[in-house]
Amino acid sequence: GQNIDQPTEMTATEGAIVQINCTYQTSGFNGLFWYQQHAGEAPTFLSYNVLDGLEEKGRFSSFLSRSKGYSYLLLKELQMKDSASYLCAVRDGDYKLSFGAGTTVTVRA
């Protein structure tokens, strides 16, 4: 089976940095994904890691350690529009994604 854990909620101040951790135990591994989902909307793709290390994309960065079954999503220079749920997902084969329950990030002024 698949087990993907991430914190339920996080709160941070506008302009600050927040790190969302994700740990996973899956039967296979073929990539780790982060999606953003605003309330009442569809998820949108943020990042993809398949090799160990850091991937940076603007204010967002994602890190992967396959040996530790661990990833994090780093959000820098937080803006109010970053208030959303962030979903960690692992692909264990070619097509199947398993998602964590999501982390709701609230950005305060």
Partner 1 sequence: IAGITQAPTSQILAAGRRMTLRCTQDMRHNAMYWYRQDLGLGLRLIHYSNTAGTTGKGEVPDGYSVSRANTDDFPLTLASAVPSQTSVYFCASSEDPGQGGNEQFFGPGTRLTVL
Question: What does the binding site for partner 1 look like in residue numbers (CB under 8 A)?
Answer: 2, 30-31, 33, 41-45, 48, 87, 89, 91, 94-102
Q: How far is the CB of 76 from partner 1 (least distance, A)?
A: 22
Q: How far is the CB of 96 from partner 1 (least distance, A)?
A: 6
Nearer to partner 1, 58 or 109 (CB): 58
Nearer to partner 1, 33 or 72 (CB): 33
Nearer to partner 1, 78 or 103 (CB): 103
Answer whether 86's CB lies under 8 Å from 35's CB: yes
Q: How far is the CB of 15 from partner 1 (least distance, A)?
A: 29
Write b or e for each residue in 48-59: b if 16 or more Cβ atoms lie within 10 A of its Cβ, otherwise e: ebeeeeeeeeee
